[in-house]
Amino acid sequence: MSTTPLVAIITGAVGNLGFATAQAFQAAGHRTVLVDRSADRLRDAFKSSADSPNHLIVGGVDLSDPASLGKLVETALARFGRLDVLVHTVGAWRGGKLVHDTDLADWDFLFNVNLRTTLLCCRAVVPQMLKQGRGRIITVASRDGLAGGAGYAAYSASKSAVLRLNESLADELKVSNINVNCVLPSTIDTPQNRAALPNADFSKWVEPAAIADVILFLASDASRAITGAAIPVFGKG
């Protein structure tokens, strides 16, 4: 792992995966820029980080709006002077309907949350990483992005698009020492998923902390030869 503290933007920091990722980065001694729409939720989740000079809480960020993301990057640079890592954990799931029955609003929603926010977050940080001559971008797709299945077309298609974006960005940026990689979780063991699927075998699901460990590795110098990868994080499923 890198011995130099990194500056990492972590989106969706109050979500299950975002929170676990923030904890992992902070435990490793890195500086974090914790992002969510709600500053109140961030302060509640990260009480010990609110007044720390090594961490920055940034609420009120609309990840689907380039101007909002531009302000986020400016705020982070004003505090730390550089941006080493982007970890984009924000995503959404909807499913259960056949293609011809799925509302177009659901397609628009999933592509906006899963693809557009990923695209815009990457676009926001790449210019600074190019200026620095170094960076790490880690996005989150899904095992469902590898193949479509009945009832999950919109979700699978949106996550598949994240994979193609990951590959293209990695190919474009590899000569600039910016590594772009993606993790592919299976079902994540969260309270929300347990409530939605109470009869499932939770022991086969992957814990957020386990995914966070993989993300931390991808941000480190130990992963310097890896770019354009989609890392399966399936647990026992």
Where residue 106 sits, what CATH number does that domain have?
Answer: 3.40.50.720
Q: What is the distance between the alpha carbons of residues 73 and 67, in angstroms, rounded to a whole number? A: 10
How many Å separate Cα 180 from the centre of its chain? Answer: 12
- Supply the residues annotated as catalytic: 155
* Percent over 90 (pLDDT), the chain: 76
Domain assignment present for 129: yes
pTM: 0.94
Domain assignment present for 187: yes
Task: Say if CB 96 and CB 151 are below 8 A apart.
Answer: yes
Task: Check whether 1 has a pLDDT greater than 70.
Answer: no
Domain assignment present for 190: yes
Write the DSSP string, 31-97.
EEEEE-S-HHHHHHHTTTTTT-TTEEEE-S--TT-HHHHHHHHHHHHHHHS---EEEE--------S
Domain assignment present for 1: no
Task: Check whether 140 has a pLDDT greater than 70.
Answer: yes
Task: Check whether 236 has a pLDDT greater than 70.
Answer: yes
pLDDT tens-place string over residues 162-221: 999 999 999 999 999 999 999 999 888 888 888 888 989 898 999 999 999 999 999 999
Task: Check whether 2 has a pLDDT greater than 60.
Answer: no
> What pLDDT, on a 0 to 100 scale, did the predictor assign at position 196?
82
**Mean pLDDT taken over the chain:** 93
Average pLDDT over residues 63-90: 97
More confident residue, 190 or 12: 12
> What pLDDT, on a 0 to 100 scale, did the predictor assign at position 197?
85
| Dihedral sign, Cα of residue 27, residue 28, residue 32, residue 37 | negative
Domain assignment present for 2: no
Domain assignment present for 216: yes
Q: What is the distance between the alpha carbons of residues 88 and 169, in angstroms, rounded to a whole number? A: 14
Nearest residue to 162 (alpha-carbon basis) of 183, 148, 177: 183
Instruction: Give the orientation angle of helix 117-132 with respect to helix 153-173, to 10 degrees.
Output: 10
Least confident of 56-60, 77-81, 144-148: 144-148
> What pLDDT, on a 0 to 100 scale, did the predictor assign at position 156?
94
Average pLDDT over residues 13-26: 96
| Dihedral sign, Cα of residue 205, residue 11, residue 165, residue 1 | negative
> What pLDDT, on a 0 to 100 scale, did the predictor assign at position 4?
80
What's the number of domains the chain is made of? 1
Residue with tokens 């996550």: 159
pLDDT tens-place string over residues 44-66: 999 888 889 999 999 999 999 99
> What pLDDT, on a 0 to 100 scale, did the predictor assign at position 164?
97
Nearest residue to 144 (alpha-carbon basis) of 92, 80, 106: 92
Q: Which domain holds residue 179?
A: 7-233
Average pLDDT over residues 14-18: 94
Q: Where are the alpha helices (DSSP H) in the chain?
A: 16-27, 39-45, 66-80, 104-110, 117-132, 153-173, 191-196, 208-219
Average pLDDT over residues 113-130: 98
Task: Check whether 134 has a pLDDT greater than 70.
Answer: yes
